[in-house]
Amino acid sequence: MRNKKYVFEKIRYMENSNRFSKKSVEQLPNLLGEEEELIFSIDGFYENNRWLINLTDKRLLFVYKGLIDLKTKNISLDKIESVEFDSGLVLGSLKIWIGGEFILISNVSKPSGRSFVEKVNNQLEYFKQQLYQPKVEYREEEVPKIKEDLVEKLLQLSNLKESGILTEEEFQIAKQKVLNS
């Protein structure tokens, strides 16, 4: 859970933050994870209410705080296919595409809507790189040992070839096996 100071500090510098529902903003500290980063927030109409839509490093978090009820909606970044902004005369609308369908958010300010799309696309790109990038971890002391073992085996094979124990063909086959292992 993030604290109020963190949330209000992040929100304060966002475009059109003076339009955000204070009741919805006050809910964010209870809804964000301890290590979850709030990247950008916008507000707009969704399901006949003014929602606060928050981009984090993990998800889109929709928050609506009414007089009595609290509504939230979470969309994991890996579920989002794309985000579009359609601009009108004064305001615009966002389309968030998920599984061939979209969520429509209307009455979004033009500058905020464009910034939101840019930030979501950047975060999607980063998130997908992290998600699909293989994690190869070596302890520092293992890397030189692996290299030393490889060099040692190749030297042994070379010595066997030079001494006539291995033919050129046998040497090439053994060398490929060592390099492929």
The CATH label, of 3.10.20.740, 3.40.605.10, 1.10.510.10, 2.30.29.30, for the domain at 4-132 is 2.30.29.30
**In sequence order, what E strands does 13-119 have?**
38-46, 49-56, 59-65, 70-76, 80-87, 91-98, 101-109
Q: What angle do CA 77, 39, 87 make, to 5 degrees?
A: 80
Whether 20 has a pLDDT exceeding 90, the answer reads: no
Whether 133 has a pLDDT exceeding 70, the answer reads: no
| Separation between Cα atoms, residue 169 and residue 175, nearest integer Å | 10
Q: Tokens 């004064």 — which residue? A: 90
Phi, psi (degrees; rounded to nearest 5) at 42: -140, 170
| Separation between Cα atoms, residue 7 and residue 5, nearest integer Å | 6
Lowest model confidence (mean pLDDT) among 30-39, 49-58, 166-175: 166-175
Q: Write out pLDDT tens, residues 87-122.
A: 988 899 999 999 889 999 999 999 889 999 999 999
Q: In what order do the strands lie in the sheet with 49-56?
A: 70-76, 59-65, 49-56, 38-46, 101-109, 91-98, 80-87
- Cβ count near 77 (within 10 Å): 19
| Confidence band, pLDDT 50/70/90 cuts, at residue 75 | very high
| Separation between Cα atoms, residue 66 and residue 51, nearest integer Å | 10
Residue 62, amino acid: F
- Position 64 scores a pLDDT of 93
Whether 142 has a pLDDT exceeding 70, the answer reads: no
Residue 66, amino acid: G
Residue 30, amino acid: N
**The two structure tokens encoding residue 180:** 């492929």
Average pLDDT, whole number, for the chain? Answer: 84
Q: Tokens 């964010």 — which residue? A: 28
- Position 83 scores a pLDDT of 93
